[in-house]
Structure 1
């Protein structure tokens, strides 16, 4: 029989000796667990950390978002608004690009900044973050699947080629393209084929979209544009195209004489020619209108479907005159609100957006066959003064020391670089068009 005194003694011993030891043991196990398996943190694509933190903070896995209570879901039941991919800010991204300067053989040498020795690679670690949503990372398999049995044509100036070469490098991470055709000076007309998806991607050099005679060293120092006549070098093959990406702008800044109905309409920067100076905004408008009308008339008249994307004007970032040692030395993007869209950049974009909307209205009755969208990159491109080749348009420009004058390219974009974002948005636009078609059929 246990006496009251012995029971009290055993209870006291258990409480004061055994229980504390158990607690210490559990605490030690917990500390070891968190030491070897720390809690995950949000990545830089989910939060906008200061650069000083981002360069020293290690990368961790994503922390899953907790599900809201059932009553909160009911209280917030509102229609999902479409994402505006064209307004946002650039945020740090540790992952970097999908490809580099040696993994695809289609990059024009002047935009291959890594191979040409650009020492600062921080421009590769930024990602566009729309205000309303997240822009998904480029999915080459998804793009190729949407392109299956189709022909995508990039038509325009060197910015069209720049975007095309970006897309080819992105797609080459999943499927190798075969160069099937090339022609013209500097291979300005080329076509690649993806056997894996029976898909073709082409580029057509047409810096005005309309008929034009480009200036040359042996002839007049101005371009000639026939604003009411489409350029048949690309339009003549329109029947083979399922999707067209148009990109023009910078060539309209050059001296030119403009024709309409076989008569001189005026000119831009043509002293001594006795023509009326009319600038280039309305000329850009007329040229884009002629191109879009030609697509509507030729494709819809035959009952053929076509998707058209107009990539808006991509601003240059010269500090100083481009031909007088102008350069683009910045090594990081502008912050949101630091650089406003104004002046020529804003006017060029405005003209293109207005003409896209006008063409949509004109072709409203053919909306099941003619789908038109603007890839509005002007504002997000304006914020990336760090993404151009600059002096690295040439291989190792400072190998022999700093020279007095080095030519800079502050118009085109390094590959890889910010222009890859154009194609990420392009993929989302095509997805949306396909979803709309599918819903219409259902």
Structure 2
């Protein structure tokens, strides 16, 4: 009887252990599911969720809640990864312009290529050129804007070009106003259209007057039609002054005006862009992105001879007038078409080390050879070296596509 009693006790102990084990296993599976969900919650925000902060920077992601956790891939930190392999080098992409191919023009350091952006609350996938091409198979990507969007196009074209045999790619890059990369095996095109205001700048007047027509979309818009992904930007050219100002007069509703409050003019132009998008874009086919301001580093945060990012604790000068950013916000709130906001401003503001500075050319001559000019006075603190920061912008664009597909939408879906 004693032996039987011991057997019963052991049986009870085994039963309890089995139940406890099943409970622990169930908890682990639930935990794993939560982690997987968190990894896949990287999202770009629709226009109705944009919230600009006082610095002109916004939390521009759709709030994704996983047990009260909101993931924002634009909030994070730069991590130095010296051992991580680059996806390309500027010697491999012969179509990179002299403005951004810093290693070809004598930049001696490489540290700026080794910083990786990591979000605080989610894992951003590493850029995968072949996967992106597969997601875009049979589609058109169009980037429209100023030279900073051209900087982004060069980055994206090089990332994709380096992922496939060069014999299967075509690149037309001779014209600074129009550039295109084609991946023939995927039937994918990535196009850039120069339009720094998004509205029409008329420079063909008989008297030489340059008119910025605030109520007319840029003439290249007829070629934007039918794109599956659109990435727009504007901003810097609106605040140029003196000899750098691109227009002589504003045109609106048949009237010409020499002077106008810049916020008013900018709002008119954004309304024209808004109307064009709402009237010409089919949200079920096309994803529309608007990239935020790419910061310059001048004055106090001058970029010349800098090899390290700005420390996060350091105060930084606002890179763009806040009233213009408020106009952008108001535009998105009004629109019928969903617009995803690529909020690269804050993460880029720390990277004054990543500009092309003096390692480029101007009028065919290297900046470092400009006689009679101090290098710190001619350094380009607006554009970015490649490989470099714009690769991160495209990584975030790619991440948004990964999320769309994993969520059941198309690669370029809304």
User: TM-score, normalised to structure 2's length?
Assistant: 0.73
Match runs of 1:311-322 below 5 Å: 311-319=291-299
Say whether 1:211 aligns with 2:211: no
> In structure 2, which of residues 59, 66, 78 is the aligned counterpart of residue 90 of structure 1?
78
Contact preservation (8 Å) 2:142, 2:224: no
- 1:188 Cα deviation from its structure 2 partner: 1.4
Q: What does residue 413 of structure 1 align with? A: 384
Q: What does residue 63 of structure 1 align with? A: none
Q: What does residue 169 of structure 2 align with? A: 178
**Secondary structure of the structure 2 residue equivalent to 1:154:** strand
Following the alignment from structure 1 to structure 2, what is the Cα–Cα distance between the partners of residues 71 and 195? 48
Q: What does residue 404 of structure 1 align with? A: 374
Q: What does residue 5 of structure 2 align with? A: none
Distance 1:97 1:295, change over 3 A: same
Contact preservation (8 Å) 1:116, 1:396: yes
**Secondary structure of the structure 1 residue equivalent to 2:141:** strand
Following the alignment from structure 1 to structure 2, what is the Cα–Cα distance between the partners of residues 120 and 402? 25
Contact preservation (8 Å) 1:353, 1:374: no
**Secondary structure of the structure 2 residue equivalent to 1:240:** coil
Say whether 1:426 aligns with 2:402: no
Count of residues paired in the alignment: 342
Following the alignment from structure 1 to structure 2, what is the Cα–Cα distance between the partners of residues 178 and 93? 30
Q: CA RMSD in A?
A: 3.3
Q: What does residue 4 of structure 2 align with? A: none
Say whether 1:328 aligns with 2:320: no
Distance 1:191 1:329, change over 3 A: same
**Secondary structure of the structure 2 residue equivalent to 1:379:** helix
Match runs of 1:96-115 below 5 Å: 96-115=85-104
- 1:167 Cα deviation from its structure 2 partner: 0.4
**Secondary structure of the structure 2 residue equivalent to 1:337:** coil
**Secondary structure of the structure 2 residue equivalent to 1:316:** coil
Gaps of 5+ in 1: 1-67, 267-274, 364-370
Say whether 1:227 aligns with 2:196: no
Gaps of 5+ in 2: 1-23, 35-65
**Secondary structure of the structure 2 residue equivalent to 1:111:** coil
Say whether 1:355 aligns with 2:331: yes
**Secondary structure of the structure 1 residue equivalent to 2:185:** coil
Following the alignment from structure 1 to structure 2, what is the Cα–Cα distance between the partners of residues 80 and 236? 45
Contact preservation (8 Å) 1:339, 1:382: no
- 1:127 Cα deviation from its structure 2 partner: 0.9
Distance 1:136 1:188, change over 3 A: same
- 1:421 Cα deviation from its structure 2 partner: 0.2
Following the alignment from structure 1 to structure 2, what is the Cα–Cα distance between the partners of residues 118 and 313? 26
Q: What does residue 128 of structure 2 align with? A: 139
Distance 1:143 1:402, change over 3 A: farther
> Higher relative contact order by CA 8 Å / sep ≥ 6: 1 or 2?
2
Distance 1:85 1:414, change over 3 A: same
Which deviations, in whole Å up to 9, do the C-alpha atoms of 1:159-210 show, x marking residues without a partner?
1110000001111121236336567xx4311222111211111111111111
Contact preservation (8 Å) 1:210, 1:287: yes
Q: What does residue 239 of structure 1 align with? A: 225
Contact preservation (8 Å) 1:310, 1:356: no
Say whether 1:388 aligns with 2:355: yes
Contact preservation (8 Å) 1:319, 1:328: no
